[in-house]
Amino acid sequence: MSSGANRYTTDEMMTVAAARELRDGVLCFVGIGLPSEAANLARATHAPNCNLVYESGTIGAKPEVLPHSIGDGELAEHADSVVPIPEIFSYWLQTGRIDVGFLGAAQIDRFANINTTVIGDYGSPKVRLPGAGGAPEIAASAKEVILMLRHSRRAFVEELAFVTSVGYLDGSDARSKLRYLGAGPTVVITDLGILRPDPQTKELTLTQLHPGATAEEAREATGWELRVADEVGETDPPDEKELHTLRELREKTEAANKETQVLRELHARIGAARKR
Amino acid sequence: MSSGANRYTTDEMMTVAAARELRDGVLCFVGIGLPSEAANLARATHAPNCNLVYESGTIGAKPEVLPHSIGDGELAEHADSVVPIPEIFSYWLQTGRIDVGFLGAAQIDRFANINTTVIGDYGSPKVRLPGAGGAPEIAASAKEVILMLRHSRRAFVEELAFVTSVGYLDGSDARSKLRYLGAGPTVVITDLGILRPDPQTKELTLTQLHPGATAEEAREATGWELRVADEVGETDPPDEKELHTLRELREKTEAANKETQVLRELHARIGAARKR
Amino acid sequence: MDGIVSLREAVAELVHDGDSVALEGFTHLIPSAAAHEIVRQELKDLTLIRMTPDLIYDQMIGMGCARGLVFSWGGNPGVGSLHRFRDAVENGWPHPLEIEEHSHAGMANRYVAGASNLPFAVLRGYVGTDLPKVTDTIAPVTCPFTREEFMAVPALHPDVGIIHAQQADRSGNVALWGITGIQKEVVLSARRSIVTVEELVEEFEPRPHQVVLPSVAVGAIAVVPGGAHPSYAHGYYPRDNAFYEAWDPIGRDRDAFRGWMERHVLGTEDFAEYIESLVQEGVGRR
Amino acid sequence: MDGIVSLREAVAELVHDGDSVALEGFTHLIPSAAAHEIVRQELKDLTLIRMTPDLIYDQMIGMGCARGLVFSWGGNPGVGSLHRFRDAVENGWPHPLEIEEHSHAGMANRYVAGASNLPFAVLRGYVGTDLPKVTDTIAPVTCPFTREEFMAVPALHPDVGIIHAQQADRSGNVALWGITGIQKEVVLSARRSIVTVEELVEEFEPRPHQVVLPSVAVGAIAVVPGGAHPSYAHGYYPRDNAFYEAWDPIGRDRDAFRGWMERHVLGTEDFAEYIESLVQEGVGRR
């Protein structure tokens, strides 16, 4: 996936683009994978006071390596506080305190509604996806939502098999009737570029392309007739610092994983416990 | 208040009688004052595994001196757990886990309904009492309730000025219509004797007199025509162990209080903090 | 207003005449210093919210700061009545006090609803009592699954939530332990918040039954050692039971009360001076 | 059944065919040993409840223990699908699985309602999504004060709640710390409970973000060191990320799965033997 001369992958471009969307000091609700990479990259570069909240209950988490799950010990270790699950949803997310929520998706439609539940019929699905998790309430209550997913016709569909989390329903002011606290998805970051909802209709519009990508590619990879802005900007490629920081973060993570021989250590521990 | 030859006070008799009502191992919701004395006396004598819960959030409290408030540090120090206030009411009291709740009262009526709110008219009261506190839900949800109050016409009234906490409403099966979890007050312990609700009508009936007290005294001190059981038992006077343990508990409490010169120590501490 | 400031600044900036103000702390960590600062700044028309109005509410009510009181148990724990509270309700002195009363469970649920950003909470209670007759903020709600009826209470959203805690760190996180009561919910349900603390520390140590309020949830922090006296701060100083007893005769008499407040609260600059003045006079004196 | 017993006894005594069983632990302290014991005792027709069904639910579903699943997110965190869960839903193998799905917030609220002995809880969510169309246990409720409409979810009351914790003391109190998830509510909402722990200690030390479940709230306790593997026990051992990755190919194939379960779970007596058997074979082998 390396894009040749520039020496960065499309995943890296996505992560860097997402990180740049985070202003310093925001309270950010983070999922695992690319969102966690992006949030931690932001914290390590331009947004040192970005406050990371994970749905496992960690507030002000400061992971030194990238967590593998939203509940890694790493997250609790250096957090400002750790609260039980009911509180993270009731006292934190539901109150509208969260500035930015990150979400991924298996499918989205032109109004940034999200499906993470099933492909095909709900009763006898072709593909059973993991389901809702924290997404419906993040989509409802975070002040804004950043969506990250790779551009493809399988993912960018004309009609969702299932609406797991709400973007703008069928557009315009439809969302406001739900009395949600948050404004909804303000940006969709893909491996090709960046889409933002039209201020009036709320239809996702391609406003920016990553270096090397074309509007034609994006149209091809979209299951509906994609709106393209009159003036499409070009994303700045990842700079030295961004790339270096991101890769260092990943290396630290891999090194930390290699170090641990969990099963063998556990085996020894159990043996020792038995002898006592 | 010493009752002469037997060398115990009527308060001591009340406390001892209440302590005896507590079976070992029960989960007991305790208020301050005589109930706390009684529960701690029980724990120090026949009911070492009596589990004391205070509404401040301490579960399995093991105070070594009698607390002055339901939230003394002493209670948290040796408790099995300490939970926030919302949990003590929602997760503990409201679930019907509590076996026995202790309550006091400014007024009760013949059906063991309780007033701790006002004497006189609510809008312009003659006496404004402290109010409900935890009592309404203790009366509703504890499996049984032990009431402790001194016998007098001011306290045992024909009609309550205000129903703060429910006993048996107007008797018979009236209480059951409220779908409360608990059975209601099963015993009222006064300085003269012990009253229990009639199994059918739920009207409080004098079933037991403390040594030296007479049914006539109890009738005199009751604002309605007091029912007296056909056979009224006599309470065993406090035995040596009960009295000794209770007095030791009180002495320890007084000694602990005398030791502390809180204000002077605080003054010294603040002075020291300022110099830093 | 965020971060570490003086208590005087915090109160001047964040508490206004007419506000609803909740000072909480269930027997433990009662924010006395903050209450005194409210008296010193002569705030008026406050709706005071608190499960257990005790000496500090007696003082604020007696000094005329309060227009209303939302509460569940108003007494001097282990001693008896709050005479200033009673004088206000029974005799309208220094002026009438609107009261809205609940049970502890009701108040706790109201704070939880507030902290959860829900307009109401549901509980098992109140039915059969006279409380729903005198308190408007109790209403029935039906379970959509079982059709059972319960009582609901509306969320509390104090304009200002004020608590006292043991420690804050330099990032503005706050730690309290021991009996932690309803403090977390008060701060989270309030529009603005003030936390007074015993001390600033570099790092929190693990403590039994500790609650850490992360800095993003906390407004102004003021360091006021001893600021919970006569209640206690677990690990710092015990409850001053003698003071609670000494308060009874002071609070009982309008003139004695007024004189005492003038000498020790209005006549002092801050809580340290107040403690100094108490020590010099001797606690028991009216 | 109360107090300290073997895990085999606890499961034999407290879990019955047809029960609803919640094994909780949010990425941390997942009660794997207890799930394996359920598989070993060949329990059937269980309604499995869990916010995040992961490897242990994949295993119980694939081994035919489950009739139904109540959940909010069913994946292998950081890796991908739970193939046994998918095979059951997509192909009815080994038999069909009734599913009842919620969001995390919905599930958390359901446990809280259960622990609070209320039949329902209220939250901001679900409206506009397709979840209410496929899940019966979501219904509207109106605030009696503001007349706003919210969604309600019914309480969970599992027949058995099962968690793993770091420590128990000899009185039967249980301590867990780090990410404590929904464990307290699971134990309090369940009719019966089993807690596996890393070790017995004389006394708990204060730990950051510690939850102590008092003995009166806890049913059977079994000491199972390592019992949360491949998840982690804060302060004891880290998450075995390699195992989560190794599970993907094992779970993907029906025969590989069945063989692996027979060798390591059915073919072992307890969790210590299971770990032994994994170490001997090497994790990655199907």
- Cβ(A236)–Cβ(A6) under 8 Å? no
Q: What is the band of D1 on the pLDDT scale with cuts at 50, 70, 90? A: low
How big is chain C by its Cα radius of gyration, in Å?
19
Instruction: Give the residue on D whose Cα is nearest the Cα of A125.
Output: D90
Return the pLDDT at A4. Answer: 43
Chains that touch A (3 or more CB pairs under 8 A): C, D
| C118 Cβ neighbours under 8 A, 6+ residues apart | A90, A94, C155, D122, D123, D124, D143, D150
d(CA A96, CA C116): 10
- Interface touch D152/C137, C-beta < 8 Å: no
Closest CA to A134 of A142, A122, A125: A142
As a whole number, mean pLDDT of residues B107-129 equals 97
* Positions of B marked catalytic: 55
Is some CB atom of chain C closer than 8 A to the CB atom of A26? no
pTM value is 0.97
- Interface touch C73/B130, C-beta < 8 Å: yes
Is some CB atom of chain C closer than 8 A to the CB atom of B215? no
d(CA B145, CA B18): 11
Is some CB atom of chain D closer than 8 A to the CB atom of B81? yes
Query: Hey, what amino acid is at A197?
Result: P
For residue B266, the chain C residues in CB contact (below 8 A) are 226, 229, 237, 275
Return the pLDDT at B2. Answer: 44
- Interface touch B95/D188, C-beta < 8 Å: yes
| B4 has a pLDDT exceeding 70 | no
Beta bridge pairs of residue A82: A58
Domains contained in chain C, CATH given: 7-102+159-278 (3.40.1080.10), 105-154 (no CATH)
Query: Hey, what amino acid is at B147?
Result: L
Is some CB atom of chain D closer than 8 A to the CB atom of A25? no
- Cβ(D132)–Cβ(D126) under 8 Å? yes
Return the pLDDT at A256. Answer: 75
Closest CA to B17 of B143, B148, B206, B202: B148
| C64 has a pLDDT exceeding 60 | yes
Q: Out of 3.40.1080.10, 3.90.550.10, 3.40.50.10190, 3.30.930.10, select the CATH number for domain A2-275.
A: 3.40.1080.10
Strands (DSSP E) contained in A106-192 are 107-108, 114-115, 118-120, 125-128, 144-148, 185-189
Is some CB atom of chain D closer than 8 A to the CB atom of B51? yes
Is some CB atom of chain B closer than 8 A to the CB atom of D3? no
Return the pLDDT at A2. Answer: 44
Q: What is the band of B259 on the pLDDT scale with cuts at 50, 70, 90? A: low
As a whole number, mean pLDDT of residues D207-236 equals 96
* Average confidence score pLDDT of chain C: 96
Q: Would you state the structure tokens that stand for residue A3, as one six-digit string?
A: 């894009």
d(CA D286, CA D275): 15
How many percent of chain A have pLDDT more than 90?
80
Chains D and B are touching, with contact defined as 3 or more CB–CB pairs separated by less than 8 Å:
yes
Return the pLDDT at A70. Answer: 67
For residue D90, the chain A residues in CB contact (below 8 A) are 124-128
Instruction: Give the residue on D whose Cα is nearest the Cα of B79.
Output: D214
Chains B and C are touching, with contact defined as 3 or more CB–CB pairs separated by less than 8 Å:
yes
The half-sphere exposure of D98 on its side-chain side, counting CA atoms within 13 A, is 10
pLDDT, tens only, D30-51: 999 999 999 999 999 999 999 9
| A272 has a pLDDT exceeding 90 | no
Return the pLDDT at B75. Answer: 78
- Interface touch C179/B57, C-beta < 8 Å: yes
d(CA C142, CA C145): 9
- Cβ(A15)–Cβ(A37) under 8 Å? yes
How many percent of chain C have pLDDT more than 70?
98
What is the number of other CB atoms lying within 10 angstroms of the CB of residue A274? Answer: 9
What is the number of other CB atoms lying within 10 angstroms of the CB of residue C285? Answer: 12
Instruction: Give the residue on A whose Cα is nearest the Cα of D244.
Output: A68
What is the SS3 string spanning D194-214? EEEEEEEECCCCCCCCCEEEC
pLDDT, tens only, A204-243: 999 999 999 999 999 999 999 999 999 999 999 999 999 9
| Domain residue limits, chain A | 2-275
For residue B77, the chain D residues in CB contact (below 8 A) are none
Which DSSP helix (H) or strand (E) runs through D4?
strand D3-4
- Interface touch C173/A27, C-beta < 8 Å: no
pLDDT, tens only, B179-223: 999 999 999 999 999 999 999 999 999 999 999 999 999 999 999
For residue D104, the chain A residues in CB contact (below 8 A) are 55, 85, 89, 132-134, 137
Smallest Cα distance from B81 to chain C, Å: 8
Strand order, beta sheet including C149-154: C120-123, C149-154, C139-142
Smallest Cα distance from D173 to chain B, Å: 7
Q: What is the band of D157 on the pLDDT scale with cuts at 50, 70, 90? A: very high
For residue A262, the chain D residues in CB contact (below 8 A) are 229-230, 237-240, 242-243
d(CA A22, CA C110): 35
Closest CA to C173 of C204, C206, C198: C204
Among the residue ranges B20-34, C129-143, C177-191, C194-208, the one predicted with the least confidence is: B20-34
Question: Does C78 or C126 have the greater pLDDT score?
Answer: C126
Return the pLDDT at D286. Answer: 46
Chain mean position to CA B140: 15
| A33 has a pLDDT exceeding 90 | no
ipTM over cut 0.90:
yes
Q: Would you state the structure tokens that stand for residue B186, as one six-digit string?
A: 């099963």
Is some CB atom of chain A closer than 8 A to the CB atom of D147? no
C-alpha distance from residue C188 to each of B87, B242, C163 (Å): 16, 47, 11
Burial annotation A45-81 (CB, 10 A radius, 16+ → b, else e): bebeebbbbbbbbbbbbebebbbbbbbbbbbbbebbb
Return the pLDDT at A262. Answer: 87
A55 is catalytic: yes
Q: What is the band of D141 on the pLDDT scale with cuts at 50, 70, 90? A: very high
Smallest Cα distance from D118 to chain C, Å: 7
d(CA C158, CA C168): 22
Return the pLDDT at A66. Answer: 80
Q: Which site among C2, C109, C111, C116 would you substitute to test the A interface, given the most A Cβ atoms closer than 10 Å to its Cβ?
A: C116
As a whole number, mean pLDDT of residues A128-156 equals 97
- Cβ(C30)–Cβ(C243) under 8 Å? no
Query: Hey, what amino acid is at D167?
Result: Q
Which DSSP helix (H) or strand (E) runs through B115?
strand B114-115
The H-assigned helical ranges of B193-233 are 215-220
Check A12, A55, A74, A137 and give the catalytic one: A55
Classified as helix, coil or strand, C61 is helix
Between residues 246 and 275 of chain B, which touch chain C (CB distance below 8 Å)?
Answer: 257, 260, 262-267, 269-270, 273-274
Under DSSP, the state recorded for D25 is -
Among the residue ranges A22-31, A96-105, B253-262, C176-185, the one predicted with the least confidence is: B253-262
The dihedral sign for the CA sequence B115, B116, B120, B122: negative
Is some CB atom of chain A closer than 8 A to the CB atom of C188? yes
pLDDT, tens only, D81-111: 999 999 999 999 999 999 999 999 999 999 9
- Interface touch C119/D145, C-beta < 8 Å: yes
Between residues 214 and 253 of chain D, which touch chain A (CB distance below 8 Å)?
Answer: 225-226, 229-230, 232, 234, 236-244
d(CA D88, CA D85): 5
Beta bridge pairs of residue A208: A194, A233
Smallest Cα distance from D105 to chain C, Å: 12
Q: Which site among A49, A51, A62, A80 would you substitute to test the C interface, given the most C Cβ atoms closer than 10 Å to its Cβ?
A: A80
- Cβ(C265)–Cβ(C39) under 8 Å? yes
pLDDT, tens only, A40-88: 999 999 999 999 999 999 999 988 888 777 677 777 888 999 999 999 9
Which DSSP helix (H) or strand (E) runs through B147?
strand B144-148
- Cβ(C234)–Cβ(C202) under 8 Å? no
pLDDT, tens only, B139-155: 999 999 999 999 999 99
- Interface touch A96/C171, C-beta < 8 Å: no
| D19 Cβ neighbours under 8 A, 6+ residues apart | D43, D46, D47, D158, D159, D160
Return the pLDDT at C109. Answer: 98
For residue B70, the chain C residues in CB contact (below 8 A) are 27, 77
**Phi, psi values for residue A133, rounded to 5°:** 55, -135
C-alpha distance from residue C210 to each of A257, B177, C203, D19, D211 (Å): 32, 41, 14, 36, 9
As a whole number, mean pLDDT of residues D156-174 equals 97
For residue D124, the chain C residues in CB contact (below 8 A) are 117-118
Q: What is the DSSP string of C79-121?
A: TB--HHHHHHHHH--SS--EEEE--HHHHHHHHHHHHTT-SEE
For residue C175, the chain A residues in CB contact (below 8 A) are none
Q: Which site among D29, D239, D268, D273 would you substitute to test the A interface, given the most A Cβ atoms closer than 10 Å to its Cβ?
A: D239
- Interface touch B60/D216, C-beta < 8 Å: yes
* Average confidence score pLDDT of chain D: 96
As a whole number, mean pLDDT of residues A151-162 equals 98
Closest CA to B70 of B80, B81, B85: B85
Q: Would you state the structure tokens that stand for residue D138, as one six-digit string?
A: 């979501």
d(CA C189, CA C158): 7
